[in-house]
Amino acid sequence: MNTPVDVLIIGAGASGAAVAWSLADTRMRIVCLEQGDWVKSTEFPSNGRDWEARQFDDFSTSPNRRRNAADYPINDDDSPIKVVNFNGVGGGTILYAGHFPRLHPSDFRVRTLDGIADDWPVDYPTLEPWFALNDRMMGIASLAGDPAYPPKDAVLPPLPLGRTGTTLGRAMNRLGWHWWAADSAMATRDYEGRARCINLGHCIAGCAQGAKASTDLTYWPQAIRQRVELRTRCRVREIGVDERGMASGAVYFDADGVEHFQPAEIVILACNGVGTPRILLNSVSGRFPNGLANSSGLVGRNLMFHPYASIRGWFDDPLDGHRGPHIGTWSQQFYETDGSRGFVRGYTYQFVRGQGPVVTAMTGMATGRIPWGDGHHDAYRQLFDRSAGMVAICEDLPEEHNTVTLDPSLKDAHGIPAPKITYRLGENSRRMLEHAVARGVEILRAAGARDIVSEAPLPNAGWHLLGTARMGRDPARSVVNEWGRSHDVKNLFVVDGSVFVTSGGVNPTSTIQALALYVADCIKQRLSNLFD
Amino acid sequence: MIDTVPMTGPAHLQDAQRRALRRVAALMIPASDAHRVPGADDDAIFADVVRSIGRDADAVRAALRRLDELAGGDFADRGQDEQRCAAQQLRDGDAALAAVLVAVVARCYYRDDRVMRSLGMEPRPPFPGGFDVEQGDLSLLDPVRARGRIWREAP
């Protein structure tokens, strides 16, 4: 058996890294178990001529397609939106686009403001200092003064607008609609050991330049210097409990497939909205027959993705193509509730640049815009480097029938039951997607696009895995309390996107990490009576 | 380092499957004198296609089997008109399988040096050279700033 530790963190992604770094100054003995490995920047696809092909291969965003040793299978056959993730040090930040908006003040008060779902037990002002600290740790590029947010500081200069941002920005001005330079996790100048962005344009397959703020480059080096131990290729099967009903540690398999038990005084789950409920549901005992921390029955329920709509147009003049971070500007014109739209809550537009040569061909032939045979080359050249558009990231409301459960037969390489996703697109989301497509077409027409296509919901866009161990003050209606501690198991914490009460209509990484820093601070403030 | 779990079944194609895929590649992306590019059935490009099928091997074989069915026998041995007809039927009736063939061909064709140059691109990976992107003019945001805040106060 391993030597007992004070804190055991499971998962080395966005939230696990932040909580590890924050707790390191307590001088407690901290170990993090991560099922994947470190990824070297020399391994990222943009180092090679096959850079586009590998995003469909070993750097696919789908674990079911990727099937690397670090991955576990996910049965998402019963969902129109498929799970995407990455397993390794840095987790999802390795493959994310680096789009880094915060939730808004209204996102934490949806019951009060709009009469739907539930208010969060924390609010924007409570998290504001942790948002700001996280922005500095991650090195966020932004432009101060965005009218869609309360005032916040810019850490680094904004991304270049490029021809795409300029073209679409002018269209938004013609329509009189909000747009702004996006908050982005790209170092626009050298920052804390990260080299500045050189517009490789392939951020979602890992940044070979190291300009993108993945936590293997931001939090982890600092945490490790403070003696946090990070054990890679260690896959947790379950969390153990002792006779008092407290978490006693975790059972895991090491890189050689050998089973171990790591005892710990505090266990922190940071495995995302699918991985965390999977471990809790696999942690069955006489005392917790329905899974750990699950007296509410809500572990794995209320799964929220963000349904995405994609609207893309083609222009007469060349734009940025595949060059530059994919998302440079955003709009939150339709973010806050407006009853006249036929749905509650709202969405963000992320304005996106163009496509690489391979993806241009694949999408062009799939939509019939590029023929097979005669005419292929002429049609291709009409599209290549001439597209731009947007994705709308829609707020997904919590619904208990959207779940992560354990698949009865599917298992990972270690024989651990795999997660099964059951998800239905809600009517509110459907109406929101329709609205987003219609307004997106208006924007592209105003920008001069000559040909427009849309798709909603995007099937392979389950980036954001939220809500499956929600926070709240009522133990009957939530899994963890307002500072991330399990209602049932007083030394068990959750810090990943599972704790989200509602999803907002923005990418969640900024808020996930702010929450992780907040929970870590709550732990530090309560060390003398943490388990009361 | 990332370990790759071996795919189910060998990635290699039988000779008839290889000939069929080559014909599909030629039908899909023919050579063009006007653009000074080879077709996707070019020796070097097609060798890259076969070498790079990887995770799509099973799906490619399924697509080629379907093409044989549509052609009423070995697709590779049919005349050009019959091949063209079967390929069109595949695209009309089984878009997912057709998309696999498009993917395996396009992934290799659109990284060939000759093709890259024809498109005005340098034949190189994105890193370490990177690319230039116009900075743009942030004063475009002045009207947005002037309209004032749109975020909603929360109690």
Each residue's pLDDT tens digit, A436-478: 999 999 999 999 999 999 999 999 999 999 999 999 999 999 9
What is the rounded average pLDDT for all residues in chain A?
Answer: 97
Query: How far apart are the C-alpha atoms of A503 and A522, rounded to whole Å?
Result: 23
A235 backbone dihedrals φ, ψ, rounded to 5°: -100, 120
Mean pLDDT of A189-216: 97
Give SS3 for A451.
strand
Q: Which of A338, A377, A412 is the best mutation test for B, with the most CBs of B within 10 A? A: A377
Residues of A in contact with B125 (CB under 8 A): 46-49, 51
Which of B55, B149, B151 shows the shortest C-beta gap to A65? B55
CA A321 to chain centroid = 25
Q: Does the pLDDT value for residue A485 go beyond 50?
A: yes
Residues of chain A with pLDDT > 90: what percent? 99
Residues of A in contact with B30 (CB under 8 A): 373-374, 376
Which of A173, A199, A372 shows the shortest C-beta gap to B130? A199
Sign (positive/negative) of CA torsion A9, A15, A17, A23?
A: negative
Task: Identify which of A128, A108, A130, A131 has the alpha carbon closest to the alpha carbon of residue A118.
Answer: A108
Q: Does the pLDDT value for residue B5 go beyond 80?
A: no
Query: How far apart are the C-alpha atoms of A520 and A221, rounded to whole Å?
Result: 18
Cross-chain Cβ contact A376/B29 below 8 Å? yes
Cross-chain Cβ contact A162/B52 below 8 Å? no
Which of A37, A108, A361 shows the shortest C-beta gap to B106? A361
CA A311-A313-A319 angle, 5° bins: 120
Instruction: State the Cα torsion A214-A218-A221-A223 to the nearest 10°.
Output: -110
3-state per-residue secondary structure call for chain B: CCCECCCCCCCCCCHHHHHHHHHHHHHHCCCECCCCECCCCCHHHHHHHHHCCHHHHHHHHHHHHHHHHHHCCCHHHCCHHHHHHHHHHHHHHCHHHHHHHHHHHHHHHCCCHHHHHHCCCCCCCCCCCCCCCCCCCHHHHHHHHHHCCCCCCCC
Q: Which of A37, A198, A207 is the best mutation test for B, with the most CBs of B within 10 A? A: A198
Write the pLDDT tens digit of every residue in B47-80.
999 999 999 999 999 999 999 999 999 999 999 9
Residues of B in contact with A377 (CB under 8 A): 29, 32, 34-35, 37
Query: How far apart are the C-alpha atoms of A531 and A282, rounded to whole Å?
Result: 24
Q: Work out how many CB contacts closer than 8 A connect A with B.
A: 214
Which residue in chain B is spatially nearest to A383 when comparing CA positions? B119
Which of B2, B133, B149 shows the shortest C-beta gap to A320? B133
Q: B3 falls in which pLDDT band (50, 70, 90)? A: very low
Query: Is the Cβ–Cβ distance between A290 and A32 less than 8 Å?
Result: no
Which of A145, A166, A198 shows the shortest C-beta gap to B130? A198
3-state helix, strand, coil in chain A (%, to 5): 30, 20, 50
Residue B12 CB coordination number (10 Å): 11
Q: B11 falls in which pLDDT band (50, 70, 90)? A: low
Q: Where is A310: in which H helix or E strand?
A: strand A308-314
Write the pLDDT tens digit of every residue in A245-262.
999 999 999 999 999 999
Residues of chain B with pLDDT > 70: what percent? 93
The pLDDT, as a whole number, for residue B1 is: 33
Q: Does the pLDDT value for residue B2 go beyond 90?
A: no
Mean pLDDT of A302-324: 97
The pLDDT, as a whole number, for residue A1 is: 75
Which residue in chain A is spatially nearest to B36 when comparing CA positions? A377
Task: Identify which of A169, A167, A160 has the alpha carbon closest to the alpha carbon of residue B135.
Answer: A160
Residues of B in contact with A367 (CB under 8 A): none
Write the pLDDT tens digit of every residue in A65-76.
999 999 999 999
Which residue in chain B is spatially nearest to A87 when comparing CA positions? B2
Query: How far apart are the C-alpha atoms of A529 and A18, rounded to whole Å?
Result: 23
Mean pLDDT of A365-384: 96
Q: B9 falls in which pLDDT band (50, 70, 90)? A: very low
